[in-house]
Structure 1
Amino acid sequence: MLIIDSQIHLWDGGHAPPHHRQKPYLAEEAVADMAAAGVDAAINHPPGWDADSNRYAIEAAERFPDRFATLGWLKLDRPEAPDLVRRWRSQPGMIGLRFLCVAPDERSWPTDGTMDWLWPLAEELELPIAVCGPTLVPHVGRWAEQYPNLKLAVDHLGLVGLTASGGLIQAEGLLSWSRFPNVSVKLTGAPDYASDEYPFRSMHDTLHALYDAYGPERLFWGTDITRLKCTWRECVTMFTEELPWLPEKDQALIMGESFSRWFNWTPPPPAQS
């Protein structure tokens, strides 16, 4: 079974927020951790807390092309941004884009016109985009309808907030957006929102509801491992051993095959030594 983690963060500088590990997470360490957990490849999301994280993402993909690909980011309000997007895939490992818009100067982007040029250009270039958090996710239905050939991936099971106890609050329209064939959902961070220990049964109904709505072709397993309190291997077996309602063929899709198809990326064979 091909196992692709649809979201990790690699960084070698900056200061991570308190809910992530505080020391940098380097490519070498991630490769070792993935091997121990039985994970074939991982999709790096260069974090905004390291302003140079795209540079490190490219370095990691160059050194470990069979292990890492990247959903990178850029400042959309810069005049050079459209040209950068047009050349995005020329950078090693870059297979798409990902945005949160949590910085003070970015929070108005979804509604003030700053992002308006991005969606049709990404649709034209067949460049998938992942979106995360309360600033962006509530607009997914509007963008999906307006740009039907633009592939959108919703991060963290549709997260838009947390309950007082740290539980998941999902976007109101999340399940109904499954009617748009260009919307998918990343099942990332599930253990972090659970109210119990492994195998995190408090999250199983949420996963089942998304499975019923989207099917296995538009759901992508992943971890966001640097903020989880469980092991990478537990994140794998939560899906491969603890969901009796998930057929084996659909398990294979969710664990990696569907991501590979959606983002048109398959890990190349390891280089021969």
Structure 2
Amino acid sequence: MRIDAHHHVWRLSRGDYGWLTPDLKPIYRDFGLADLAPHLAAAGIAGTILVQAAPTEAETLFLLDLADGSVVVRGVVGWIDFDAADAAARIEALAGRELLVGLRPMVQDIADDDWLLRPALAPLLAAMARHRLAFDALVLPRHLSRLVEVVDRHPDLQFVLDHFGKPHLATGDIAAWKDDIASLAARSNIVCKLSGLVTEAASDWQVADLSSAVDHVLAQFGPQRVLWGSDWPVVDLAGGYAKWFAATATLLDDLPADEKAAILGGNAARIYLSSRGRHTSRT
């Protein structure tokens, strides 16, 4: 089964997508599961992981309610206020929702680059591990060395590096990123999402512009620890779903069929669903 391990939906009227402004014209409108359906059908994708896009618990509840009424959404990666005094209780409460498979603080938008290293975060990550929730790391290259430390501190927690850690593909300045990726890959409790690359590349990107980063991640993590996501509808800023999916096929062309299948669905099913005690299919 193919799984899109990273996509969003949103309604502008909610008012909690502070980053989503009219300047982002191609995606400044409502996007729902019905809009996604043709892309999934064209790519032969049967299931998805729906990921938060607003730093509010209200949006997470909105996504969970959408998922409850959907056959295609297999799991939701949500958000809680990790800085709240009752953050542990909030994790406990949300963990009772069957389709919640992970949480994602929007680290890339947090002013303190050392936020991941705060001692107060430790018991919250321990609570996530107890509830078998994955920690999606939405970080920038400057956060990767801190992420290594956190991954080491929590060996029982499953980490997922979103969007390859957003390497600077547009400038080609990825040497330090490569070193940090190698360090992260040496830790067995983190996997890497093959997603979000085209919005980090030049506006006229070609598949060749992505290959160095993809080859490096595959060499370091191995095909069993890489999972594909569309990052739809954000991907519409850089060519769209179909172009990115076609680029993925080219980037993975040399891999055996079983390794391609793992990246395009099997790994997501294992990381987010079966290893969390969740079902891989819904009826």
The TM-score range, normalised by the shorter chain, is: 0.7 to 0.9
SS of corresponding position for 1:69: strand
Q: 1:105 to 1:230 in 2, by over 3 A?
A: closer
Q: 1:39 to 1:172 in 2, by over 3 A?
A: same
Tell me, in whole angstroms, the C-alpha distance in 2 between the residues paired with 1:122 and 1:180: 18
CA contact (8 A) 1:220 1:254 kept: yes
CA contact (8 A) 2:80 2:87 kept: yes
Tell me, in whole angstroms, the C-alpha distance in 2 between the residues paired with 1:141 and 1:235: 29
Asked if 1:246 is matched to 2:252, the reply is no
1:10 is aligned to 9
Asked if 1:34 is matched to 2:40, the reply is yes
SS of corresponding position for 1:39: coil
SS of corresponding position for 2:180: coil
Asked if 1:87 is matched to 2:93, the reply is yes
Deviates more, 1:14-23 or 1:145-154: 14-23
Q: 1:109 to 1:218 in 2, by over 3 A?
A: same
Q: 1:98 to 1:167 in 2, by over 3 A?
A: farther
Q: Within 5 Å, which residues of 2 pair with 1:131-146?
A: 131-134=137-140, 136-146=143-153
Shift of 1:188: 0.6
1:260 is aligned to 269
CA contact (8 A) 2:55 2:79 kept: no
Residue 178 of structure 1 aligns with an amino acid whose one-letter code is: A
Asked if 1:225 is matched to 2:232, the reply is yes
The structure 1 residue matched to 2:54, chosen from 39, 48, 51, is 48
CA contact (8 A) 1:137 1:154 kept: no
SS of corresponding position for 1:184: strand
Tell me, in whole angstroms, the C-alpha distance in 1 between the residues paired with 2:171 and 2:38: 30
Shift of 1:217: 1.2
Shift of 1:115: 1.6
1:182 is aligned to 189
Q: 1:49 to 1:84 in 2, by over 3 A?
A: closer
Q: Within 5 Å, which residues of 2 pair with 1:54-133?
A: 54-103=60-109, 109-133=115-139
CA contact (8 A) 1:65 1:93 kept: no
Tell me, in whole angstroms, the C-alpha distance in 2 between the residues paired with 1:167 and 1:125: 39
Tell me, in whole angstroms, the C-alpha distance in 2 between the residues paired with 1:48 and 1:267: 26
Q: Which blocks of at least 5 consecutive residues in structure 2 are unaligned?
A: none
Residue 221 of structure 2 aligns with an amino acid whose one-letter code is: Y
The structure 2 residue matched to 1:236, chosen from 245, 248, 253, is 245
1:152 is aligned to 159
Higher helix share: 2
The TM-score with structure 1 as length reference comes to 0.85
Aligned length: 267
Among the aligned pairs, what percent are the same residue?
18
2:215 is aligned to 208
Tell me, in whole angstroms, the C-alpha distance in 1 between the residues paired with 2:55 and 2:102: 19
SS of corresponding position for 2:198: helix
Deviates more, 1:255-264 or 1:103-112: 103-112
Shift of 1:245: 2.1
SS of corresponding position for 1:225: coil
Shift of 1:112: 3.8
Shift of 1:67: 2.7
Deviates more, 1:147-156 or 1:259-268: 259-268
2:201 is aligned to 194
Tell me, in whole angstroms, the C-alpha distance in 1 between the residues paired with 2:57 and 2:204: 35
Residue 209 of structure 2 aligns with an amino acid whose one-letter code is: S
Tell me, in whole angstroms, the C-alpha distance in 2 between the residues paired with 1:3 and 1:176: 29
SS of corresponding position for 1:262: helix
Shift of 1:92: 4.3
Tell me, in whole angstroms, the C-alpha distance in 2 between the residues paired with 1:28 and 1:52: 21
CA contact (8 A) 1:6 1:43 kept: yes
Deviates more, 1:211-220 or 1:83-92: 83-92
Runs of 4+ in 1 over 6 A off after TM superposition: none
Tell me, in whole angstroms, the C-alpha distance in 1 between the residues paired with 2:108 and 2:233: 19
Q: 1:107 to 1:196 in 2, by over 3 A?
A: closer
Tell me, in whole angstroms, the C-alpha distance in 1 between the residues paired with 2:55 and 2:92: 25
Residue 219 of structure 1 aligns with an amino acid whose one-letter code is: V
CA contact (8 A) 2:163 2:196 kept: yes
